[in-house]
């Protein structure tokens, strides 16, 4: 199973990444994958590869995504597809890179990786309606850079990837849904609704495993979370926050209040 994850991570081919991810997910049931977990060699994170397309550009050089035009819808769906493709690699990487955790840790993140494949494929099918394929529009690598920064630190990875980046999706997706609905794009809205519901579980897994690792190390989750937010984001927190969904995903009232305080501080 870990070999399949590694193949998916180092692959530069979209199809192969999806195929190996699914194989890894499906092998969880039958394989005793934990037997060699502690012995396996882990490749450094710079060996994780991405397809040559989409080309990477600075976020400011990206085409604008006004939903009113066909081109705007196309680049909007493509941008979300790009996020989902990155999310596949992010979920695989957390399962691959960190040893010494219970079997369920690996099962949970492969479940997430499989969900991300599903999201990515739904969006690619939608892109076909716009005569567009994944890779056609330049994108940025904002998500993956957080994985690189947290290569050696599981507490930071859990705080910053599922509990910050993915949790941000919970905040912004309802607004996107409204815009799509206003444009009568019910097909795209239906996809985003499925994604939004699945993402609650992904963020919840972030909470669950951050709790676990904190408990193992005698640490307090809220402290660890905000220390990492401060260290990696320098307090650059953006709200507003989706309270109901974040609470479902395990955020406490304290955490939400502190996030809101940090958001106000950065907007001053």
Find the length of the chain: 268
Tell me which residue of 90, 129, 95, 122 sits closest to 3, measured CA to CA.
95
Query: Cα-Cα-Cα-Cα dihedral of 114, 240, 124, 108, to 10°?
Result: 0
Residue 124 CB, shortest distance to Fe ion, in Å, is 13
Stretch that binds Fe ion, among 86-94, 146-154, 250-258, 260-268 (CB under 5 A): 86-94
Cα four-point dihedral sign 139, 157, 117, 243: negative
- State both tokens at 256: 């939400």
93 binding Fe ion? (CB under 5 A): no
143 vs 50: CA distance, rounded Å: 13
67 vs 185: CA distance, rounded Å: 10
Would you tell me how many other CB atoms lie within 10 Å of the CB of residue 77? 27
Of 104 and 254, the one with the shorter C-beta distance to Fe ion is 104
Give the phi and the psi of residue 55 in degrees, each rounded to 5: -70, 150
Residue 268 CB, shortest distance to Fe ion, in Å, is 31
Of 65, 73, 78, 119, the one binding Fe ion by CB under 5 A: 119
Paired strand residues for 56: 139
Residue 36 CB, shortest distance to Fe ion, in Å, is 28
The helix/strand/coil state of 8 is helix
Find the residue with minimal CB distance to Fe ion: 202
Stretch that binds Fe ion, among 70-78, 87-95, 127-135, 239-247 (CB under 5 A): 87-95
- CB of 116 closer than 8 Å to CB of 93: no
Of 87 and 259, the one with the shorter C-beta distance to Fe ion is 87
Residue 35 CB, shortest distance to Fe ion, in Å, is 29
* Residues 131-170: x where in contact with Fe ion by CB under 5 A, - otherwise, as a string: -----------------------------------x----
116 binding Fe ion? (CB under 5 A): yes
Of 132 and 200, the one with the shorter C-beta distance to Fe ion is 200
Residue 167 CB, shortest distance to Fe ion, in Å, is 10
202 binding Fe ion? (CB under 5 A): yes
40 vs 195: CA distance, rounded Å: 33
Of 166 and 204, the one with the shorter C-beta distance to Fe ion is 166
Residue 264 CB, shortest distance to Fe ion, in Å, is 27
Chain residues binding Fe ion by CB under 5 A are: 84, 87, 116, 119, 166, 199, 202
């Amino acid at each position: 199973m870990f070999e399949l994850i590694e193949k998916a991570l180092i692959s530069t081919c979209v199809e192969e990444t999806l195929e190996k991810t699914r194989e890894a997910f499906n092998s969880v049931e039958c394989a005793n994958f934990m037997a060699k977990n502690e012995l396996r060699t882990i490749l450094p994170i710079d060996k994780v590869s991405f397809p040559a397309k989409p080309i990477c550009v600075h976020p400011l050089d990206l085409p604008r995504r006004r939903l009113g035009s066909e081109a705007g819808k196309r680049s909007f769906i493509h941008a979300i597809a790009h996020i989902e493709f990155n999310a596949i690699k992010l979920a695989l990487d957390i399962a691959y890179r960190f040893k010494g955790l219970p079997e369920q840790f690996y099962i949970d993140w492969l479940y997430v990786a499989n969900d991300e494949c599903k999201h990515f494929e739904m969006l690619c099918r939608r892109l076909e309606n716009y005569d567009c394929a994944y890779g056609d529009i330049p994108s940025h690598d904002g998500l993956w850079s957080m994985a690189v920064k947290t290569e050696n630190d599981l507490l930071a990875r859990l705080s910053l990837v599922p509990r910050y980046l993915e949790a941000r999706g919970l905040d912004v997706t309802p607004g996107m849904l409204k815009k799509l609905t206003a444009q009568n794009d019910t097909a795209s809205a239906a996809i985003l609704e499925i994604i939004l519901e699945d993402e609650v579980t992904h963020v919840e897994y972030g909470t669950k495993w951050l709790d676990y690792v904190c408990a193992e190390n005698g640490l307090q989750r809220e402290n660890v979370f905000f220390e990492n937010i401060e260290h990696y984001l320098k307090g650059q927190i953006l709200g507003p926050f989706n309270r109901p969904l974040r609470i479902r995903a395990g955020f406490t009232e304290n955490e939400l209040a502190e996030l809101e305080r940090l958001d106000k501080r950065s907007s001053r």
